[in-house]
Amino acid sequence: MKPTEIILHPLDNVRLANLCGALDENIRQIETAYDVTIARRSERFTLHGAAPRTHQAARALRHFYERSEAALSVDDIQLGLIELANLSQATPQAPVLMTRKTELHGRTPRQVDYLRQIQDHDITFGIGPAGTGKTYLAVASAVDAFEREHVERIVLTRPAVEAGERLGFLPGDLAQKVDPYLRPLYDALYDLMGFERVTKLFERGCIEIAPLAFMRGRTLSRAFIILDEAQNTSAEQMKMFLTRIGIGSRAVITGDLTQVDLPRGQKSGLGEAVQVLADVRGVAFTRFLKEDVVRHPLVARIVDAYEKHSLRSSPLQQQTQQQPPQQQTQQQ
């Protein structure tokens, strides 16, 4: 395969340094994203790999060079790569969210649709693989609604289900026991509002984080409620949660149906809700794909690899299950 060569101009050594990053770490991110190899001598770049990928990587290099007046972090590169991948799609104007991260917005068409659905519907489901921004954008929407005084409090909850491990006895009081399960929600709040403000709002009762089991028997009015990791709810828990919603409240349910940690044979409440509520007016669904992953470029490829593996293994599992017991025993 013939390599692709580009020359970035006008030559500016400061902008070149900003583009490449410390020890060329930004260049390594672009290599990983497009599965190419990049060699550089000053402003001349040589790209090795499949022709479509080298052309995409060359476009990315030019794109970031034009925006390298200031230093570019790895995060800038990763988010920029997501936006580049979606330039060919017609993306409507993303809603502006009132958080301390002024640059926060939907990076892909489905993320923009997700934010709009949250604003336009009382109940929104965000379903898809890890890294697509389901939880973070939901928390950002909750902060936005609170700052605009559309709601009086934020309630964040998730089922306390161990993700394949056995954690055993956890020491401490109730808060210390459930904190490990709720830590991702804390992290998002601190990032969007700041530690001190979040702490004050906790003290005033304007923000509440609790395990799903604590929602039973309550009615939550004028609140923005988020149920995270909903794939680990039972059918009864999901119904219980959905019936907690009171006047003036808005709910967002997020989850990944490929990462269910419930005991074998127990049906996911999220999977059932998708079927039961499909035609209910006022309920919206956003189904994220691997193209919406906004983490490290490798994450999207990891998700894709697992999807392909699942498709390959499913027919084999079905064939084994359909064989008579005697035939299975003989094969063993």
How many residues are there in the chain? 332
Mean pLDDT of 8-30: 91
User: Mind listing the domains of the chain with CATH numbers?
Assistant: 4-85 (3.30.1370.10), 109-295 (3.40.50.300)
* Res. 89: pLDDT tops 80: no
**258 token code pair:** 């490929």
Strand 207-211 and strand 223-227: the pairing is unpaired
Choice among 17-26, 143-152, 157-166, 281-290 with the minimum mean pLDDT: 157-166
Q: What are phi and psi of 292, to 5 degrees?
A: -95, 0
Amino acid at 42: S
Q: What percent of the chain has pLDDT over 90?
A: 50
Condensed to tens digits (0 to 9), the pLDDT of residues 121-135 reads 999 999 998 888 899
- Give me the percent of the chain exceeding a pLDDT of 70: 85
Report yes or no: 287 and 125 within 8 Å, Cβ to Cβ.
no
Average pLDDT over residues 166-188: 65
Q: Helices 269-276 & 235-242, crossing angle to 10 degrees?
A: 60
Helices 174-193 and 195-204, axial angle in degrees (round to 10): 130
Q: Are 187 and 211 in contact (CB under 8 A)?
A: no
The pLDDT-based confidence of 217 (bands split at 50, 70, 90) is confident
- pLDDT average, residue stretch 304-323: 68
Q: Are 107 and 79 in contact (CB under 8 A)?
A: yes
Q: pLDDT tens digits, residue range 145-163? A: 999 999 999 999 988 764 4
Confidence of residue 86 (pLDDT cuts 50, 70, 90): low
Q: Where does the pLDDT of residue 167 fall: very low under 50, low under 70, confident under 90, or very high at 90 and above?
A: very low
Angle between helix axes 134-147 and 109-120 (nearest 10 degrees) is: 40
Tokens (6 digits) for 166: 């056995």
Gap between the Cα atoms of 88 and 210, Å rounded: 41
